[in-house]
Structure 1
Amino acid sequence: MENTNTPPQNKFGNWLKTSITARMLMVGFLVIILLIPLTYISSLIRERSQRQTEVIAEINQQWGNEVLIYGPILKVPYKTFNEKTVTDKITKKVYTETIEEINDAYFFPEKLNINSNINPEEKKRGIYTTAVYNSNMTISGTFVKPDFSDIEINDKDILWDKAKIIIQSSNVKGVNEASLKVEGTNYGLTSKYNGQKNYAYNAVILHTLETKNIDKNQLQFQKPLTFNINLNIKGSEQIRFVPTGKQTEAEIKSNWKTANFFGEFLPYNDDKVSEYGFDAKWKILDLNRPFSQQHFNGIPDLKEFAFGVNFMIPVDEYQKSERSAKYGFLVIGLTFLIFFLIQTLSKIDIHPFQYLMVGLALTMFYTLLVSISEHSNFLKAYLIAGSSVIALITLYSKSILKTFKFPLFIGASLTALYTFIYVIIQLENYALLVGSIGLFLILAIVMYVSRKIDWNNG
């Protein structure tokens, strides 16, 4: 007897093949599933970026951190007298006792001239690079006679024989040489412990260098008191100065070509950058800054008014990789949309597993991009990773779609998509504009193509 039994039909499989709605749900579900590896990839990029930050911080710590110079400042002690009422415990008599206290007043220079010559170089550890430098600077200027009239201190209560000149710096570890002359007389600089701890990440703590007591005879101020300071300091990444002079003039020269000028004040000369490096000049008056020349309640924190130069490494590969990974959802979604339209219009069956393989190939682009960019520049890494993924998906599509025209169309579409994303990554001011226009055109193309689909068939 002939067996006429037929195997039971797979209703779900048939529904998935024939129903457009089912295919749309399947594609959407796979896109959501592929967000999981994309999340892990974004986490990997942040982890590698954090590792870069840690290694650069270690290099800078060993060589010498950024340099911030605050000063010089003339410190002059003075006496104050306070009356205190005291009651004798035995006689119960009340009398007044005068208590003498010694405080410090701080005076900024009348004129401050800063000349610095900086020779940066790249320092590497493994695959990570940072900019370090050796700086030679000359700081000169004048002090005028301190004015105590604001707090009504008599001249006899000013301790001129205890006056000192101090300089504050964020990096005393990198100091190779430091000398100070007042009216041609040498005064050695010694480091003074300020008791501050750097608990906050990337916080700038200023350390004090001070002279011995200035010769009282030099503080007669028949004319402005002249000073001259020579410093040789090793530092990293950036250097900056606080404009303490009533008139501050600064000039920084270097052979570094990718410098970034930053801070409260910028150089005034237009020809500061050339093919040989830069020669930047500043001129800052007391009218340009919101603080005075004398301070009687300690040294104020004026780091926010500093100006200087950042010796930046021009490219940040991890930042670009992270920006490209943010478009991962868009790349996967649009690629799946292309396959969905081809499948719907040509009636070619594409299995969900094949969609998944294409999606995983697209996520591999980002791991290739990060790993290659660590050993090369971003453009080369992008080209290698993009070409590899496009070639892989195009060849795999040939085995699925059995024709040449559809795989070639997919390859061309992926090439255009990756090129579009690369352009957006490179742009800063126009990234949103170009991205919006590009997405609008993509939507228009999809709407035009999808008009041929018979949506009544499932």
Structure 2
Amino acid sequence: MKNEIPFLQSTTAKLIMIGMLTLVLFVPLAFVQNLIAERSLRKQEVISEITAKWGDSVLLYGPIIKIPYTAHYPVKNATETITETEYAYFFPEQLEGHIDVNTTEKKRNNYEAVVFSSAMKFNGTFTKPDFSSKGIAPEDIQWDKATLLVKANNLKSIKDGMKIKLGEKVMAFETATNDPVTFVSTLETPSFSISEYFTDEKIPFNFNVAYDGSRELKIVPIGKTTSVSMKSNWQTPKFTGYFLPGGNEKKSDNAGFEASWKVLDFNRPFAQHYFGDFPELKDYSFGVDFIIPVDEYQKNERASKYGFLVIGLTFLVFFVIQSISKISIHIFNYTMIGLALVMFYTLLISITEHSSFLKAYLIAGISVVLMISLYSLSILKSKKFAIFIGFSLTALYTFIFVIIQLENYALLAGSIGLFAILGLVMYFSRKIDWNAIKEEN
């Protein structure tokens, strides 16, 4: 009868200890992920400081005709009425916009933010305001107190003021109100007599505005027919908002992008004119987000999420080699290897802040692979096993790097890759006689 081996020296005990060590190593891995999140938060704070000085996101829509009128309201249980001044708002019949956006990257220390300068040109036509739908008497309409409105945010970043040419008259906009909730301000011209302008059924207008901003630029399609074209040097636009550009007209390449929108009045959920309160329209805007699809910190975060996979598969490779070669690997050796794998992510985040993610990944990956390969050579006493471990780690880090770069196919590539890795492990471990290993131990 063969002597029974102590439990702590059995294969089962070794597997349990390796599993527990893997779980313990998740603690420093979690600290690394917290570090990445902290550095990413710091980056957002720096970006906010930069954009606050340069200019925040841009929202603009107008012009809008505003005409006061006298409204009569009956008094309850009385024959007389009270009068109040109300306002009617009329949107353009045609609105065309041509927008050129030039983006640049502003850097501070190790951080960078995307900002832009835009030149916007708008033109179109108004039709004569019609009050007949509300039954308002002509004598109650205050034609001589009409004004033009433009709604906008981020007013401090408007360059050279803003003027509009209505027919042959040029008028300047001034700040009328600021909404503390939506942060959308109202720019308004001085009052003028609008009746003298509509000798014809339509009157043309045009206005230009130069705007600095960051993150996004949006327009609200207030024209009965709104046509907007945008051109920019930014290579990774994200078209956003209530409407997307025309599929055949959108183009994005290494030189930037060109896009155009055409919106009709029955495509949108708001009317062409309003009496009384002015509606909130910012939710129906469209435009572009000037974003970096996956920034350096996002890549670091995604890489760290595969830390459990790297640690688990590396330990599995060492355990299989140990089982095949009959070489005893102490739990201390596993601990050193695990810590080296965790150090990969601290190297990655620290080098990334002073270089590109690709260079940081190469430097950190080569350093860790060489360290573990040389360490395995000293404990396994075999060049072929050390080379195999180095090759396995290189393949694993390459696989993770490819997944990180993918956006739309990351899940698919990751699932196929993990399936292939599982198949390889099953193939190389298929002939191991675990009972024989237990007896020899």
Q: TM-score range, shorter-chain basis?
A: over 0.9
The answer to which of 397-406 and 293-302 deviates more is 293-302
The answer to which of 389-398 and 124-133 deviates more is 124-133
Residues 1:302 and 1:216: Cα distance change in structure 2 (over 3 Å): closer
Matches of 1:74 and 1:298 in 2, distance apart?
Answer: 14
Aligned to 1:448: 427
Matches of 1:428 and 1:286 in 2, distance apart?
Answer: 36
Residues 1:112 and 1:424: Cα distance change in structure 2 (over 3 Å): same
Q: What's the TM-score, normalizing by structure 1? A: 0.89
Aligned to 1:3: none
SS of the equivalent of 1:292 reads coil
Aligned to 1:29: 20
Aligned to 1:5: none
Aligned to 1:235: 213
Residue pair 2:106, 2:115 contacting (<8 A) in 1 also? yes
Task: Give deviations 1:73-118, integer Å, cap 9, x for gaps.
Answer: 11111211112147xxxxxxxx433111111121110011112222
Aligned to 2:204: 226
Q: CA deviation at 1:212?
A: 0.7
Aligned to 1:4: none
Aligned length: 432
The answer to which of 404-413 and 420-429 deviates more is 420-429
Matches of 1:215 and 1:298 in 2, distance apart?
Answer: 22
SS of the equivalent of 1:65 reads coil
Q: CA deviation at 1:282?
A: 2.3
For the aligned residues, what is the CA RMSD? 2.1
SS of the equivalent of 2:245 reads coil
Matches of 1:328 and 1:274 in 2, distance apart?
Answer: 35
Amino acid at match of 1:189: F
Q: Map of 1:29-178 to 2, 5 A cutoff?
A: 29-85=20-76, 95-177=78-160, 178=162
Aligned to 1:19: 10
Amino acid at match of 1:325: S
Q: CA deviation at 1:163?
A: 1.4
Q: Map of 1:59-458 to 2, 5 A cutoff?
A: 59-85=50-76, 95-177=78-160, 178-197=162-181, 205-220=183-198, 222-268=200-246, 269-270=248-249, 272-273=251-252, 275-313=254-292, 315-456=294-435, 457=438
Residues 1:447 and 1:272: Cα distance change in structure 2 (over 3 Å): closer
Residues 1:361 and 1:21: Cα distance change in structure 2 (over 3 Å): same
SS of the equivalent of 2:379 reads helix
The structure with the largest alpha-carbon Rg is 1
Residue pair 2:101, 2:117 contacting (<8 A) in 1 also? yes
Residues 1:300 and 1:378: Cα distance change in structure 2 (over 3 Å): same
Residues 1:280 and 1:99: Cα distance change in structure 2 (over 3 Å): same
Q: CA deviation at 1:205?
A: 2.1
Matches of 1:154 and 1:373 in 2, distance apart?
Answer: 70
Residues 1:152 and 1:114: Cα distance change in structure 2 (over 3 Å): same
Q: CA deviation at 1:252?
A: 2.0
Q: CA deviation at 1:217?
A: 4.2
Matches of 2:148 and 2:98 in 1, distance apart?
Answer: 19
- The sequence identity of aligned pairs, in percent, is 53
Amino acid at match of 1:406: F
Residue pair 1:160, 1:219 contacting (<8 A) in 2 also? no
The answer to which of 373-382 and 254-263 deviates more is 254-263
Task: Give deviations 1:241-283, integer Å, cap 9, x for gaps.
Answer: 1111011112223333333333333333546445543333222
Residue pair 2:167, 2:197 contacting (<8 A) in 1 also? no
SS of the equivalent of 1:193 reads strand
Task: Give deviations 1:198-222, integer Å, cap 9, x for gaps.
Answer: xxxxxx6211111011224434453
Q: What's the TM-score, normalizing by structure 2? A: 0.92
Residue pair 2:177, 2:187 contacting (<8 A) in 1 also? no
Residues 1:34 and 1:243: Cα distance change in structure 2 (over 3 Å): same
Gaps of 5+ in 1: 1-10, 87-94, 198-203
Amino acid at match of 1:400: I
Residue pair 1:35, 1:329 contacting (<8 A) in 2 also? yes
Residues 1:339 and 1:297: Cα distance change in structure 2 (over 3 Å): farther
Matches of 2:369 and 2:44 in 1, distance apart?
Answer: 32
Gaps of 5+ in 2: none
Residues 1:440 and 1:313: Cα distance change in structure 2 (over 3 Å): closer
Residue pair 1:191, 1:209 contacting (<8 A) in 2 also? yes
Matches of 1:53 and 1:452 in 2, distance apart?
Answer: 53
Matches of 2:254 and 2:324 in 1, distance apart?
Answer: 57
Matches of 2:55 and 2:65 in 1, distance apart?
Answer: 27
Matches of 2:276 and 2:310 in 1, distance apart?
Answer: 60
Matches of 2:113 and 2:155 in 1, distance apart?
Answer: 20
Task: Give deviations 1:144-199, integer Å, cap 9, x for gaps.
Answer: 122323322222211112211110112101011211121121211101233414xx
Q: CA deviation at 1:65?
A: 0.7
Residues 1:117 and 1:218: Cα distance change in structure 2 (over 3 Å): farther
Residues 1:380 and 1:29: Cα distance change in structure 2 (over 3 Å): same
Residues 1:437 and 1:257: Cα distance change in structure 2 (over 3 Å): closer
SS of the equivalent of 1:58 reads helix
Matches of 1:327 and 1:433 in 2, distance apart?
Answer: 15
SS of the equivalent of 1:173 reads helix
